[in-house]
């Protein structure tokens, strides 16, 4: 591609990704399948890697999430809520492992299911739930405390009087999603495209009665800020601690000593993902030990000590929409 064509393609990718990102993050109504968004983003990232002068400051590759919806109070995150880099195949995973080993030597990993919902941050003061927010643009999120209080799996009081901020994924179980879309269909309302958008659409409503009626749930997957501040040496120990003070953590996570164990975990869940009663869109691979994590650090957008393996798109048939959707 000559220079002019390359510049035009970069502009086109910026425009398309901004348009799709707005529909997904702000309106909770995606207009294209995730696989389309992901492949355009990969194309942009690879052009930008070879032509750093074509990275615009407002490029979608440089940003986390979307803007804030009007009507909600803003919450400035004490610790930024970042995104994750994505990997799509075995070669990418082995490259990630090589980069990690180059930065921190031999490490252990922890693999977790990548729950397909929306990221939330929950703040507790002396053991009492005081504020819950969305990720927003990573720095500023929406205050959705009233909506989060309607979710039964979020403890309002912890087993210890600890002041802590935790991060997790709010999601809609598959059964609740099916029931909700059936009801919407009967009422002549447009069905939600998938449980992720139904969960996000439910939590970003000003009336908490709507969230209360939607049977949402949350898995907590980590501490905001310095995990070691609570006396643990590793992410896996922190997950045990979080469960011990009352949070619902996902019990399917697994410590993996080698990248071969990581690959085996991914393969086993790729085959069985349909058996779960919630949607997952991949596997999150995290370096387990906090000292190793610290050594690897962060880019502007994501930690270098973690990555998300995204499952390949699969064709599914949704009875309600009566169209083939690629997810
Ligand atoms: P991401 O979804 O690739 O990864 C980051 C998120 O993973 C975190 O914020 C967290 O919410 C979530 N997560 C789930 N389980 C987790 C766990 N166990 N540990 C840590 N995090 C966990 O990044 P993103 O920036 O939220 O979104 C990008 C993705 O959104 C793209 O890959 C794309 O598929 C989708 N998207 C789709 C469209 C569309 O039009 N269809 C538009 C924009 C984005």
317, with CB counted inside 10 A (0-12, 13-18, 19+), is exposed
Q: What pLDDT, on a 0 to 100 scale, did the predictor assign at position 315?
A: 52
Cα–Cα distance for residue pair 31/253, rounded to 1 Å = 32
Residue with CA nearest ligand 1 atom 22:
114
Mind listing the pLDDT tens digit for each residue in 21-72?
999 998 888 999 999 999 999 999 999 999 999 999 999 999 998 888 889 9
> 122-146 burial, b for 16+ CB within 10 Å, e for fewer?
bbbeebebebbbbbbbbebbbbbbe
Mind listing the pLDDT tens digit for each residue in 58-113?
999 999 988 888 899 999 999 999 999 999 999 999 999 999 999 999 999 999 99
Q: Are the CB atoms for 113 and 39 separated by under 8 Å?
A: no
Q: What pLDDT, on a 0 to 100 scale, did the predictor assign at position 327?
A: 36
Write down the H helix ranges in 158-214.
174-186, 195-203, 208-212
Ligand 1 pocket, residue 115 CB under 6 Å: yes
Q: What pLDDT, on a 0 to 100 scale, did the predictor assign at position 260?
A: 98
Cα–Cα distance for residue pair 216/176, rounded to 1 Å = 8
**Beta 164-171 vs 118-125: how paired, if at all?**
antiparallel
CA angle, 306 then 307 then 311, to 5°: 150
Instruction: Flag whether the ipTM exceeds 0.90.
Output: yes
324 has a pLDDT exceeding 60: no
- Substitution candidate for ligand 1 out of 43, 45, 83 with most atoms within 8 A of CB: 83
| Site of tokens 């052009």 | 47
Distance 83 CA to ligand 1 centre (A): 7
Cα–Cα distance for residue pair 53/161, rounded to 1 Å = 51
Residue with CA nearest ligand 1 atom 30:
34
Cα–Cα distance for residue pair 274/205, rounded to 1 Å = 29
| Cα–Cα distance list, 11 to 30, 41, 48, 50, 60 (Å) | 21, 13, 12, 16, 11
Ligand 1 pocket, residue 38 CB under 6 Å: yes
Set 4, 18, 74, 114: catalytic member: 114
Mind listing the pLDDT tens digit for each residue in 229-285?
999 999 999 999 999 999 999 999 999 999 999 999 999 999 999 999 999 999 999
Ligand 1 pocket, residue 308 CB under 6 Å: yes
Cα–Cα distance for residue pair 192/236, rounded to 1 Å = 34
CA angle, 284 then 285 then 291, to 5°: 130
Residue with CA nearest ligand 1 atom 32:
38
Write down the H helix ranges in the chain.
3-21, 34-50, 90-104, 145-148, 174-186, 195-203, 208-212, 235-244, 259-272, 290-296
Cα–Cα distance for residue pair 44/27, rounded to 1 Å = 23
317 has a pLDDT exceeding 80: no
Ligand 1 pocket, residue 141 CB under 6 Å: no
**What ligand 1 atom has the least distance to the C-alpha of 23?**
40
Ligand 1 pocket, residue 278 CB under 6 Å: no
322 has a pLDDT exceeding 60: no
Q: What pLDDT, on a 0 to 100 scale, did the predictor assign at position 313?
A: 81
Q: Are the CB atoms for 215 and 173 separated by under 8 Å?
A: yes
- Substitution candidate for ligand 1 out of 39, 45, 59, 119 with most atoms within 8 A of CB: 119
Q: Are the CB atoms for 103 and 295 separated by under 8 Å?
A: yes
Residue 90 phi, psi dihedral angles, 5° rounding:
-60, -40
Ligand 1 pocket, residue 169 CB under 6 Å: yes
Ligand 1 pocket, residue 112 CB under 6 Å: yes
| Site of tokens 């009507």 | 71
319 has a pLDDT exceeding 70: no
175 assigned to active site: no
Mind listing the pLDDT tens digit for each residue in 180-220?
999 999 999 999 999 999 999 999 999 999 999 999 999 99
Residue with CA nearest ligand 1 atom 34:
34
Q: Measured in whole angstroms, how far is the alpha carbon of residue 108 from the centre of its chain?
A: 22
Mind listing the pLDDT tens digit for each residue in 134-165?
999 999 999 999 999 999 999 999 999 999 99
- Largest Cα–Cα distance in the chain? 62
286 has a pLDDT exceeding 70: yes
């Amino acid at each position: 591609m000559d220079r002019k064509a390359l510049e035009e393609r970069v502009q086109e990718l910026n425009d398309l990704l901004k348009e799709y990102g707005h529909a997904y993050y702000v309106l909770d109504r995606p207009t294209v399948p995730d696989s389309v968004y992901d492949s355009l983003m990969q194309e942009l990232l690879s052009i930008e890697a070879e032509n750093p002068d074509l990275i615009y400051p407002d490029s979608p590759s440089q940003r986390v999430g979307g803007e804030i919806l009007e009507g909600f109070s803003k919450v400035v995150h004490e610790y930024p809520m970042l995104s994750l880099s994505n990997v799509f195949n075995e070669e990418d995973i082995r490259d990630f492992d090589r980069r990690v080993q180059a930065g921190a030597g031999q490490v252990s990993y922890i693999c977790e299911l990548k729950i397909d919902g929306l990221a939330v941050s929950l703040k507790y003061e002396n053991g009492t739930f005081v504020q819950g927010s969305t990720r927003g643009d990573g720095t500023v999120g929406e205050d959705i405390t009233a909506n989060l209080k309607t979710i039964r799996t979020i403890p309002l009081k912890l087993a210890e009087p600890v002041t802590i901020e935790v991060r997790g994924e709010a999601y809609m179980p598959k059964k609740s999603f099916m029931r909700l879309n059936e009801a919407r269909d009967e009422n002549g309302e447009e069905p939600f495209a998938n449980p992720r958008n139904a969960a996000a659409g439910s939590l970003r409503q000003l009336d908490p009665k709507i969230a209360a009626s939607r049977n949402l749930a949350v898995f907590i997957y980590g501490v905001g800020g310095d995990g070691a501040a609570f006396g643990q040496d590793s992410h896996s120990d922190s997950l045990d601690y979080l469960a011990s003070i009352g949070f619902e953590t996902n019990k399917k996570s697994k410590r993996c000593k080698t990248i071969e164990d990581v690959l085996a975990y991914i393969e086993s869940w790729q085959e069985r993902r349909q058996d779960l009663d919630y949607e997952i869109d991949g596997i999150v691979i995290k370096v387990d030990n906090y000292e190793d994590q610290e050594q690897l650090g962060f880019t502007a957008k994501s930690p270098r000590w973690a990555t998300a393996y995204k499952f390949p798109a699969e064709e599914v048939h949704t009875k309600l929409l009566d169209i083939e959707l690629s997810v």
